């Protein structure tokens, strides 16, 4: 949409010109049940450094009724165009009032409207990051033009209405409506303002009381009534209070807002959003069926991540989106540190989860053609909209963890405290953050920043060692490589300074466990770093570089260590080295250094003794992905059969009622192939077969049915019957996914049309249909859609909102068609269409997945030929 893509230069010019004082926003939501639009009136007061200059304010709205600048009406037909309102001839002090009809959305952007099929009530919530406050009220939509915001909301009487400020008592109004008049917020950015309205269920706690007893912060949790029976509010309040205590002590600064509400909302595009004092969270985190402890850990990390943002992001905010990484990386780092360190935490091994999941995401992202420095070049809003990626979150957090090791935990903490004291309620750049750390630590961080934050790509660390005939180490060094950046990536690969630990592990004769017997911590610089501390000692069973996961680098094993790990990976006594080795094995598979069939052997030999359920579930996903995409197609059926058989056996052998049992049930639901396995799924679904301890509840039922439908064993009547027993929003999504997964040409045509040819699906349902449409064992059926994808791509991008378009661009890319033909079709489209940068990035990233899969298939094929020789 022209005018919506604000550039950094435009934002800089506007920030130099304006100082924004206050917004008063009046929204009439009283007709939300029946109308597609709502009335929005915005009054904003601001000053201008150069009177007489023109500027603009942002607004995305179907219709603007009135614009009044400093008492002078401006004709909407002339002043409002391309989602901007031109403001001419500004005075030193200005007052602007804009009245418009704004639109509810079903895309998760702006003011999202949802009707719950259970009670047929309407539920609203806002989502404004990055540039969508302008869909609800006229705003200077950039993070460095902070102001106070005062909301007045008219809505149906009896609704809950929540915003950043504490909720006032509603005032009765006409015809069954009421008015909520909120107090002004502190000075914050527009993207963290919020409004949530509807007949939500609320649970309130007595609040968090600070350690010195000087202040109590009211706490609230909200969800739809149809989910209230599943809301474990006490557990959520407990995690939240742990976070309050940890962050207030760590940052030496009290929570900066008047209250803290967490609102579980439907059809949310992300995990959660850090609206000041009114955090919105996807309501899939209200678990309506049994889940493993890994799901509770992930939810707790999300809760703590958003709470950390109250200080880092909301109290102190980036000046421009090139420092988005610091917002998200810090919140990620802080949330994991809190889980690992907070008194009473259920997840003291949170860094294991981080190494297993977040860093794997970062390593994958950092090897794409779109890889970029952590401090990314953000030229405009289109750039930032596709930059919520593994580098911004996970690589940045990994580098912050290394920075803590580099400057020391005490100095890092003191630097944070200075940063918050100096910049509260303001906007900052990376230089401000590093400056505070330099003051606290006495270290010059400029060279560190250049090496780690301003370059792209990932280093590889390998051990080099020689031993004598007695097995004594005579030479040991860490070799560092900087693989060339992928074609199309900006910049050059560099060698970086790493602070790492080298761990030596031996098998205990009594327990059989692999225990660390020696640890050497050192700085790795350049291509080769000698480690004299290990010379003269007996060669251990396993040598692990980057033990304790201090740095961000891919690690490889020497031949003897790899042989031991292949047989005994699960025997490491501690979870973190196991996670690091699992991650290394997966990365080697993705890189084509380890054949898929060899990865499968590694998993099958060790997964039964892996005690971390989060790692087990990651292995389930990774193994299935490797078999679907990285295996030699000629061998793939054998590999998939072996994996399905293993899932079947582990399900039957697992401890009744355990997390392992549930995880294996879900793994089998994704992998079942044989008549016997599919019959087991059918029996579990209809109750004719039971597995001791396994509760076949709502979510598991849908997982079982989804596989049966995709395999052609169950049909649309079975889906309709299941939906009849689960007439909820989640049930409707599952049903849509199942129907799209049917292995018929008619079902595929229907699903494609609903997503591509129409535009009426809500965001969550569209995502579900895409997920059902793409089935890896339906390649032949989906083959015609490869060409159709490229035919519709440009129009989809031009006519859909960012969130909806991105779902289609990424979700429907023919990634399961791993062939040179797919690469050629992609290249031809890129050459012909010359797409905008954001669309090009999404397509190029998807293309890289196919190219990587081709290389991995070649490696697997060669391994098979070698085994058969």
Q: Which residues are catalytically annotated?
A: 306
Asked, as a colleague might, if the bond just before 411 is cis with ω within 30 of 0, I would say: no
Q: CA triplet 704, 709, 711: central angle to 5 degrees?
A: 95
Q: What phi and psi, each to the nearest 5 degrees, are found at residue 121? A: -95, 160
Q: Are 161 and 35 in contact (CB under 8 A)?
A: no
DSSP string, 814-849: -TT--SHHHHHHHHHHHHHH---HHHHHHHHHHHHH
Of 655, 658, 566, 650, nearest in space to 608 by CA: 650
- Cα–Cα dist 283/272, whole Å: 9
Max distance between CA atoms of the chain, in angstroms, equals: 93
Determine the Cα–Cα distance for residues 109 and 132; give it in Å rounded to an integer.
6
Residue 127 dihedral angles phi and psi, to the nearest 5°: -140, 115
Rg of the chain, C-alpha, whole Å: 28
Among 644, 554, 634, 638, CA closest to 594: 554
CA count, 13 A, side-chain hemisphere, 586: 25
DSSP 400: H
What values do phi and psi take at 579, rounded to 5? -65, -40
C-beta of residue 379 within 8 angstroms of C-beta of residue 8:
yes
Q: Cis peptide before 130, with omega less than 30 degrees from 0?
A: yes
According to DSSP, the residues that pair with 630 across neighbouring strands are none
d(C-alpha 299, C-alpha 307), whole Å:
12
Beta bridge partners of 162: 196
401 by Cβ neighbours in 10 Å (0-12 / 13-18 / 19+) ranks as buried
User: Are 571 and 510 a contacting pair, CB within 8 Å?
Assistant: no
Contact present, 790 and 818 (Cβ < 8 Å): no
User: Are 130 and 381 a contacting pair, CB within 8 Å?
Assistant: yes
Q: Are 152 and 117 in contact (CB under 8 A)?
A: no
CA gap 649, 455 in Å, rounded: 47
Q: Which residues contact 400 (CB under 8 A, 6 or more apart)?
A: 329, 330, 333
C-alpha 80/C-alpha 57 separation (Å) is 10
> Distance (Å, rounded) from C-alpha 451 to C-alpha 494?
8
Spatial separation of the C-alpha atoms in residues 236 and 533, rounded to whole Å: 47
Sheet holding 63-69, edge to edge: 72-74, 63-69, 93-103, 37-48, 18-28, 148-156, 177-181, 171-172
Q: How far apart are CA 389 and CA 411, in angstroms?
A: 29
Q: Name which of 536, 532, 509 is nearest 520 in CA terms.
A: 532
* Helix 596-606, helix 575-590: angle, nearest 10: 160
Cα separations (Å) of 275 from 124, 218, 280, 308, 469?
15, 16, 7, 12, 64
356 neighbors 260 (Cβ within 8 angstroms):
no
d(CA 3, CA 134): 12
Sequence length of the chain is 869
Going by C-alpha positions, the residue among 309, 429, 337 that lies closest to residue 378 is 429
């Amino acid at each position: 949409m022209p005018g919506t893509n604000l550039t950094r230069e435009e934002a800089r010019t506007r920030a130099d010109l304006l100082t924004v004082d206050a917004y008063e926003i009046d929204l009439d939501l009283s007709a939300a049940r029946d109308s597609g639009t709502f009335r929005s009136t915005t009054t904003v007061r601001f000053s201008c450094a150069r009177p007489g200059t023109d500027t603009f304010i942002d607004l995305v709205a179907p219709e603007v009724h009135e614009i009044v600048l400093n008492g002078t009406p401006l004709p909407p037909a002339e002043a409002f165009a391309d989602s901007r309102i031109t403001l001419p001839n500004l005075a030193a002090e200005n007052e602007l009032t804009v009245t418009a009809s704004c639109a509810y959305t079903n895309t998760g952007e702006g003011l999202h409207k949802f009707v719950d099929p259970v009670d047929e009530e309407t539920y609203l919530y806002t989502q404004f990051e990055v540039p969508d406050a302008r869909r609800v009220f006229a705003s200077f939509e950039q993070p460095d033009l902070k102001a106070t915001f005062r909301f007045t909301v008219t809505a149906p009487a009896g609704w809950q209405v929540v915003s950043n400020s504490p909720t006032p008592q509603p005032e009765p109004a006409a015809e069954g409506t009421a008015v909520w008049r909120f107090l002004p917020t502190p000075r914050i950015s527009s993207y963290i303002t919020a409004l949530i309205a509807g007949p939500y269920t609320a649970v309130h706690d007595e609040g968090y009381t600070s350690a010195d007893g000087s202040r109590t912060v009211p706490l609230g949790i909200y969800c739809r009534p149809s989910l209230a029976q599943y809301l474990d509010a006490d557990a959520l309040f407990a995690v939240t209070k742990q976070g309050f205590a940890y962050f207030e002590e760590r940052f030496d600064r009290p929570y900066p807002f008047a209250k803290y509400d967490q609102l579980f909302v439907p059809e949310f595009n992300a995990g959660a959003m850090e609206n000041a004092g009114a955090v919105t969270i996807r309501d899939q985190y209200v678990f309506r069926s049994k889940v493993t402890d890994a799901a509770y850990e992930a939810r707790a990390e999300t809760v703590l991540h958003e709470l950390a943002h109250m200080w880092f992001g909301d109290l102190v905010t980036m000046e421009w989106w090139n420092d988005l990484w610091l917002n998200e990386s810090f919140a990620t780092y802080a949330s994991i540190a809190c889980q690992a360190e907070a008194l009473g935490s259920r997840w003291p091994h949170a860094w294991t989860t981080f190494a297993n999941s977040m860093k794997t995401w970062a390593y994958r992202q950092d090897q794409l053609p779109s890889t970029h420095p952590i401090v990314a070049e953000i030229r405009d809003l289109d750039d930032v909209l596709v930059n919520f990626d593994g580098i911004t979150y996970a690589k940045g957090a990994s580098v912050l963890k290394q920075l803590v090791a580099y400057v020391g935990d005490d100095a890092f903490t003191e630097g944070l405290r200075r940063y918050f004291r100096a910049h509260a309620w303001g906007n900052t750049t990376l230089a401000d953050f590093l400056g505070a750390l330099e003051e606290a630590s006495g270290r010059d961080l400029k060279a560190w920043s250049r090496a780690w934050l301003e370059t792209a790509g990932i280093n590889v660390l390998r051990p080099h060692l020689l031993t004598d005939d007695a097995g004594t180490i005579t030479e040991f060094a860490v070799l560092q490589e900087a693989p060339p950046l992928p074609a199309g990536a900006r910049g050059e690969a560099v060698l970086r300074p790493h602070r790492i630990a080298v761990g030596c592990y031996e098998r205990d004769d009594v327990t059989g466990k692999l225990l660390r017997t020696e640890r050497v911590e050192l700085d790795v610089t350049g291509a080769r770093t000698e480690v004299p501390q290990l010379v003269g000692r007996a060669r251990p069973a396993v040598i692990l570089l980057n033990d304790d996961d201090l740095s961000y680098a891919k690690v490889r094993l020497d031949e003897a260590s790899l042989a031991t790990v292949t047989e005994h990976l699960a025997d490491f006594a501690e979870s973190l080295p196991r996670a690091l080795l699992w991650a290394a094995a997966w990365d080697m598979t993705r890189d084509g250094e380890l054949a898929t069939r060899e990865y499968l052997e590694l998993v099958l030999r060790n997964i039964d003794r892996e005690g971390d359920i989060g790692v087990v579930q990651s292995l389930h996903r990774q193994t299935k992905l490797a078999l679907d995409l990285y295996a030699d197609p000629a061998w793939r059926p054998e590999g998939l059969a072996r994996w399905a058989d293993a899932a079947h056996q582990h399900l039957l052998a697992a401890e009744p009622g355990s997390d392992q049992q549930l995880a294996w049930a879900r793994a089998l639901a994704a992998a079942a192939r044989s008549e016997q396995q599919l019959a087991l799924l059918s029996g579990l679904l209809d109750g004719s077969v039971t597995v001791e301890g396994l509760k076949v509840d709502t979510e598991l039922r849908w997982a079982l049915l989804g596989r049966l439908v995709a395999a052609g064993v169950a049909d649309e009547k079975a889906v309709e019957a299941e939906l009849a027993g689960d007439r909820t929003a989640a049930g409707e999504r599952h049903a849509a996914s199942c129907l799209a997964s049917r292995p018929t040409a008619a079902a595929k045509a229907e699903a494609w049309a609903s997503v591509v040819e129409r535009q009426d699906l809500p965001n969550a349902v569209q995502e579900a249909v895409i997920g059902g449409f793409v089935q890896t064992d339906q390649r032949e059926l989906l083959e015609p859609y490869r060409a159709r994808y490229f035919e519709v791509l440009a129009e989809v991008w031009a006519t859909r909102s960012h969130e909806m378009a991105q779902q289609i661009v990424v979700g429907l890319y023919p990634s399961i068609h791993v062939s040179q033909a797919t690469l050629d079709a992609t290249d031809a489209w890129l050459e012909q269409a010359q797409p905008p940068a954001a669309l090009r990035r999404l397509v190029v990233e998807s293309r890289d997945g196919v190219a990587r899969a081709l290389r991995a298939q070649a490696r697997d094929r060669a391994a098979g030929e070698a085994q058969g020789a």
